[in-house]
Amino acid sequence: MNRSAQQQIAILVIEDDPGDLRLIQLNIRRAGVQTLSRENALICARTLREGIAVAATSPPDVVLLDLSLPDSSGLATVQALRADVPGVPIVVLTGQDDHQLAEAALQAGAQDYLVKGQFEHDALGRAIRHALVRQKLESRLRLFEAALNSAANGVLITNLDSTIEWANPAFTRMTGLSLAEAVGRKPNEILNSGKQEARFYQNMWQTILAGEVWSGELVNRRKDGSLYDEALTISPVTDAKGAIRHFVAIKQDISERKANEERVQHLAHHDQLTDLPNRVLLSDRLAQALAQARRDRGTLAVMFLDLDKFKPVNDILGHDVGDLLLKEVALRLRTCVPRESDTVSRLGGDEFVILLAQIDKAADAALVARKVLLALSQPFTIGPHAIDISTSIGIAAYPQHGEDVSQLLKSADIAMYYAKNDGRNCYRFFRDLNEANVLSG
C-alpha cells in the first residue's frame, strides 16, 4: 500500500480460530494497513455476541467477519451483525469458495468476500480499502435516497423509453399509486387525463430528447380517477459520453394553488353578493358578442334593469333583508334567459343588465323582458316578510341603438328611464331622443 495513501483505521476481527486470526493479523501488516495508534486499534472477538458488544462500545471502521462462529454461522451471522452494527463495512471471511454464498453475503449487507488462505498479494488490504470506499458510496446513496424519499414533491426516474424505474413516497401520496404499481409502466399509461393534446407531448419529447430540461403544467389523473393540476419538470440524465440514459421527473401538485387563482379570478369578475358577472366581465362578454355579431351581421340586445320600490325595503326592513332580496332577484333573472350564451349581470345596488348575445331581431328581446316582468312581479318571501317589487327595463339593440359597449349600455340605461317615466313595471326600447328630453318627459 502506498505510504502517502495510508489511513489509520480501527479494525474489528471476529474470528474464533487462533491460527486464522494470526494469518489475518499477518496479512494486515503485510498489506500495509495502518491501524490506529490508540490501544486496541486492532480488536479481536471470538463470538458474534462478543463482537457486537465490542462494536457497540467502540464502533470500528471495518469488521472482518468469520461466517462460522461458536454462536452463529452462515448468512445469519452477516444479517445479525448488520442489524446491530449498521453503517460499518463488513468483509466476510470463510473457508468456502462458494460464489453463490459470496453473492448472498453481499446481498445480506457485506461489502466484500474473501476465502481464507487466498490472501495472496494485497487481497486482504484491497478488500478492506474497497469495503471502506463502498461503504462511503452506499452511505451517500442512502443519503440521496433518504432526501428523495423525504422530498415534498414527487420524483420519478424513468429509462429512455419512459418506463418508470423508481418513484418516491410523495409520488404515491400525490397519485395513489404504490411503487410496485408504478415500476415497469409508463406515466402516460397510468396518469394520462386526456386533457392535453398530442402536440403538448410532442413538444415535451422534442425538448428532452434534445438533452434540454422541460418544464410545464398539465392535468393528470390519480388512481381513483380524480384529476389534479401538476407542475412538471423533466431533466435528461446522461452517461460519461453524453448519451441520454434516464429521465428524472419532479412533480408538484398545484391543484390548491390553481384553485386559489381561479377563486381570485372569479372574485375579480363576479359580484360578491349574487355571484353574477360584474361590470368588468359584462363588458368583456359584450365586446366579444359585438365582434361575433359584426362578423355574422347579426343582432344582439342589452337590457338595463332597475328595481322598483327597492329603497323602502332597505330603509324599513334593513340592508340584510335587502341583500337577501337581491340574491333572490338574481336567481329569478337566471331562469328568464333562454341560452347559456346570454349573461345576467349585476352592476351594483339594484341595477342589473341582461345581455342577449344572439337574437334574430330586436323585438325578440321583448319576449325576455315580459318574462322578467312576470318573474319579478311575484311576491318574494324573505324570512317572515312578504315583499312586492317590480322592475323597469330599458332595451338597446345592436346595431340600431349603438355599435360599441359604452354606447349600447348608455342607450339601454336611457331607455330604462323611459320605462320609469311611463309608470314603471314595464319595458321600453331606446328612442333617438336626447337625454334631457327623456328625463323631462
pLDDT top residue among 19 and 313: 313
Residues 334 and 423 in one domain: yes
Question: How far from 122 is each of 22, 27, 129, CA to CA, in Å?
Answer: 16, 8, 10
Q: What number is the average pLDDT over the span 233-259?
A: 95
Element (H, E) at 93: strand 90-94
Please indicate, yes or no, whether residues 242 and 281 belong to a single structural domain of this protein.
no
pTM above 0.85, yes or no: no
Q: Are residues 282 and 389 in the same domain?
A: yes
Asked if residue 410 and residue 305 are part of one domain, the reply reads yes
Residue 93 confidence (pLDDT) above 60: yes
pLDDT at 120: 65
At residue 121, the pLDDT reads 64
Lowest mean pLDDT, pick from 108-112, 365-369, 386-390: 108-112
Spatial distance between the Cα atoms of 146 and 316, rounded to a whole number of angstroms:
68
- The answer, yes or no, to whether residue 441 has pLDDT greater than 50, is no
Q: 351 pairs with which residues across the strands?
A: 306, 348
The pLDDT assigned to 118 comes to 67
In a domain, 262, yes or no: no
**In the prediction, which pLDDT does 102 show?**
79
**Does one domain contain both 302 and 182?**
no
Q: Is residue 254 over pLDDT 50?
A: yes
**Residue 265 maps to a domain:** no
What pLDDT shows up at residue 145? 84
Strand 154-159 with 164-167, pairing: antiparallel
Q: Is 176 a residue whose pLDDT tops 90?
A: yes
More confident residue, 409 or 100: 409
pLDDT attached to residue 23: 83
How many domains does the structure of the chain reveal?
3
pLDDT of residue 178: 95
Higher pLDDT, 41 or 402: 402
Q: Is the pLDDT of residue 439 over 50?
A: no
pLDDT of residue 57: 86
Q: How many residues does the chain have?
A: 441
Exposed, middle or buried, 399 (CB in 10 Å: 0-12/13-18/19+)? middle
Q: Residue 226's pLDDT is what?
A: 96
Rounded Cα distance between 366 and 372, Å, is 10
Q: List, for residues 98-142, the tens digit of each pLDDT value.
A: 778 878 888 888 888 888 766 666 777 778 888 888 888 877 877
Task: Name the percent of the chain lying above pLDDT 70.
Answer: 92
Give the CATH number for residue 224.
3.30.450.20
Domain hosting 63: range is: 3-148
Residue 114: the pLDDT is 83
CATH number of the domain enclosing 423? 3.30.70.270
- Please identify, among 256, 279, 314, the residue that sits at the C-terminal boundary of a domain: 256
pLDDT at 2 over 80: no
Give me the half-sphere count of Cα atoms (radius 13 Å) on the Cβ side of residue 153: 13
Mean pLDDT computed over 211-221: 96
Query: Is the bond preceding 399 in cis, omega lying within 30 degrees of 0?
Result: yes
Q: Are 410 and 370 in contact (CB under 8 A)?
A: no
Across the range 231-252, mean pLDDT stands at 95
C-alpha cell recorded at residue 86: 449498521
Rounded to an integer, the average pLDDT of 318-345 is 94
User: Does pLDDT of 59 surpass 90?
Assistant: no
Please tell me the least confidently modeled range out of 186-190, 204-208, 428-432.
428-432
Mean pLDDT computed over 26-41: 59
**264 within a domain of the structure (yes/no):** no
Give the domain-ending residue among 194, 227, 256.
256
C-alpha cell at 356: 342577449
Q: Are 382 and 233 in a shared domain?
A: no
CA–CA dist 69, 437 (Å, integer): 114
- Residue 181: which residues within 8 A CB-CB, separation 6 or more? 190, 223
- Other Cβ atoms within 10 Å of 87 Cβ, number: 10
**Which pLDDT belongs to residue 431?**
85
Q: Is residue 431 part of a domain?
A: yes
Q: Is the CB of residue 267 less than 8 Å from the CB of residue 170?
A: no
